[in-house]
Copies of this chain bind each other. A is one copy, B any other.
């Protein structure tokens, strides 16, 4: 699977100017560069790493974009997203692996969904509950561009009604009032498996912990992840001047 597919997000890299563009071929059949137009149809089917020329004959390298690139630069956002630093840790803490069945709510813009679908592979499944249909539509179109939509089943439903599944390998809640749905999440989970919850405020942590205390969960953890970049100048190495100070708090617990 090293050939460019029509739904791929690719990088057009200008070696001379050391400049790159993240382009989704499905969205951009004709991409206008400063050196002329690149037609998506001339790119599809090429080996990654090969050269494509604009109509004026200027050469660009065609490189694969990673899931990280797509989430950060090309995901169509209708909501605040789960950032890669958080999404990667959530997936590991929830022990997500190929073949797993993962339940999440809500679908947001599909960033977390994409990371789950990326890891569960062809034999796995992500079931995403979301009450707002436009979010589902947007998230699925994001997932389609990643070739991951067929691994996701979106259910346009309020989780106040509960989840249909009772054998989830993990459940992830990214909703405003997670404490209201923890009993549903408990029922959906296999015994011994992990619940993950994402909340932006400390007030939500407090309410969530109060609920978890009274339920058969163990290994309850609350944490946050900070990512700090450095300027990549070896003779003057130093952290970047500014950084994201907060995206969300993460809460984990194990069903017993």
A contact residues vs B (CB 8 Å cutoff): 1-2, 11, 13, 15, 18, 20, 48-49, 61-64, 66-68, 84-85, 87-89, 91-95, 97-99, 115, 118-119, 121-122, 190-194, 200-203, 205-207, 209-210, 213, 218-230, 232-246, 249, 254, 256
Contact = CB atoms under 8 A, between A and B. Distances in A.
B245 A241 contact: yes
Q: Count copies of this chain in the complex.
A: 4
B246 A245 contact: no
Contacts of A121: 97-99, 121
- The binding surface of chain A is classed by DSSP as mixed
Contacts of A118: 97
Contacts of A228: 223-226, 245
Nearest to A95: B66
A92 B64 contact: no
Nearest to A245: B243
Contacts of A209: 232-234, 237
Contact of A223 (B61, B63, B119, B229): B229
Contacts of A218: 13, 18, 20
Nearest to A62: B192
Contacts of A85: 89, 225
A146 B188 CA distance: 25
B61 A256 contact: yes
A11 B84 contact: no
Contact of A246 (B1, B2, B190, B241): B241
Given A89-B88, A256-B63, A221 B229 contact: yes
Contact of A238 (B63, B68, B200, B213): B200
13 contacts: A2-B190, A15-B256, A49-B192, A61-B192, A64-B95, A121-B121, A202-B206, A206-B235, A210-B234, A220-B232, A222-B229, A224-B230, A242-B242
Nearest to A63: B192
